Amino acid sequence: MKNLQVHIDDNSGFCFGVIYAIEMAEDILNEEGILYCLGDIVHNDEEVARLQAKGLKIINHDELKSLRDTKVLIRAHGEPASTYQLALENNLELIDASCPVVLKLQNRIKSSYDKDEKIYIYGKHGHAEVIGLLGQTNNNAVVFQDITELDIATLPKEMTLYSQTTKSTDSFYAIKNQLTNSGINVNANDTICRQVSNRDVELRKFAQQYDKVVFVAGKKSSNGKVLYNVCKEANQETFFVSSVSDIDYSWFNDGDKVGICGATSTPMWLMENVKTALGEK
């Protein structure tokens, strides 16, 4: 036994948008035993597998086109208007679990588009939320993951800047300042979810308290990658796992204080499983 002292971060785990989506899914699954979901309900394979065992069926947009007369869950990331139109045509009942923060952002982008503003979105190419945001502009907005993707010299002298809700506030304002310093009039809209962005500060403090940190997240989670790097900067002895099977017990020394934390898409039960596994060694 290595007698590890293991603690879970109280602030880690699902954000309210994910909690809302999963609770809606579970209510229907408990009543009906089956529910279609457009894309992974959360970017965590372990949680998706748990819900699939209850009857959740993950489908993509091509598969949605062939569905008729059934219920389909819209996950927290939101969807473009075209998805709602298809649902009407196919007599699909949409269980809309779009995050309120995302819906507010979609409405603001649609309003900007209706005013013919030049819209730029700081976000991850191909991300489900970003696809929904682009849909508010008939795919006419410019999406960029890094400011180096933009040719500053050819940008319009006036633009409206938005951000994917899970991006870093520091990065967003650094981009805004760089554009402004280049002579561009930037109408910056800070639409970043504070429940997500505030975890940067919380996780730095948490990670610094421990000899070792185990960060638990799905490999497909954008938020997980960002927050893992936050922990790694605060404590170099931070290790990424997606499940208990990823743990390498050689990481730890006898008596280590170990902190366990995770992304906004990481279920608390999975962090509890990691704690239990560490306590048995």
Annotation: CATH topology of 101-192: Cobalt-precorrin-4 Transmethylase; domain 1 (3.40.1010)
Catalytic sites, residue numbers: 129
pTM to 2 decimal places: 0.87
Walking along the chain (281 residues) 10 residues at a time, the average pLDDT comes out as 91 91 96 96 94 97 96 95 96 95 96 97 94 96 96 95 91 96 96 85 95 95 88 97 96 96 95 93 64
Q: Is 5-13+196-279 in CATH node 3.30.70.20? A: no
Q: What is the pLDDT of residue 107?
A: 97
pLDDT for position 222: 80
For the structural domain made of 16-99, what CATH number should be given?
3.40.50.11270
Instruction: State the number of CA atoms in the 13 A half-sphere of 34 facing the CB.
Output: 3
Please choose, from the candidates 189, 76, 169, 82, the residue with its C-alpha nearest in 3D space to the C-alpha of residue 129: 76
* 192 within 8 A of 166, measured Cβ to Cβ: yes
Domain ranges of the chain: 5-13+196-279, 16-99, 101-192
Tokens of 96: 């809309």
Question: By the 8 A CB rule, do 98 and 135 touch?
Answer: no
Residue-level pLDDT at 281: 64
Tell me, yes or no, if the two domains 5-13+196-279 and 16-99 fold the same way: no
